[in-house]
Amino acid sequence: MHSAIGSRYAKALIEVVLAPGSRVDPKKALEELRRVVEMIEASTALHNALLSPAVPPSRKRAVVGRLIEPMGVSRAVRNFLFVVIDHRRIHQLKAIVDEFDALLDERLGFVRAGVSSATELSGAQKSSLEVELSRLSGKKAKLTFSIEPALIGGVVARVGSKLYDGSVRGQLERLRVKLGRG
């Protein structure tokens, strides 16, 4: 996320949804927040109105309240959105939601991993990587995949600060270094 303020909001929301006795389903709250972000991003007029200092927070709350009502957004998420609006942080909502997602994964015992490959991986290859990275990290891995043709072949996986390089490019680089020394 890169914002200390946004991170504070995400942590506060995590504490609310994961509090003992909370009736908020954390995954549902995340889904609701993502839908609100999409709604705001889809409408230039709404986006501009929410960012405008000329529109009072009470008016912004009223507009957002009316728009999210048919979406079935929970009271906790609605109240959270109103706090974000009142504190003039609506411009950071997407980043706050991304941070909330990351914190939720962390609290629920997931680890995020980015996997790059030279070509699209099959479903079986993706599943195999998920199992192996979960085993290596000791946590259930949530993978995101990207294609990077420069790898030539194989995959590169990043889990936190650890890099697992099984690419042809990586093997060639290691061979080059080895031959250069010998």
Gap between the Cα atoms of 50 and 110, Å rounded: 34
If 0-12 CB within 10 Å is exposed, 13-18 middle and 19+ buried, where does residue 175 land?
A: exposed
Gap between the Cα atoms of 114 and 122, Å rounded: 16
Output the average pLDDT for the chain.
91
pLDDT of 1 reads: 41
pLDDT of 182 reads: 47
Count of other CB atoms within 10 angstroms of residue 144 = 10
Region of 2 please: left (phi>0), alpha (psi -120 to 50) or beta. Answer: left
- Average pLDDT of the residues in 139-163: 90
Could you tell me the two tokens for 89?
């942080």
pLDDT tens for each residue of 134-147:
998 999 999 999 99
CB 59 within 8 A of CB 80: no
All domains of the chain in start order, with CATH? 4-106 (1.10.520), 110-181 (no CATH)
Gap between the Cα atoms of 3 and 34, Å rounded: 19
CB 151 within 8 A of CB 102: no
pLDDT of 2 reads: 56
Q: Which of 171, 146, 175, 150 is nearest to 158 (CA)?
A: 146
pLDDT tens for each residue of 33-58:
999 999 999 999 999 999 999 999 99
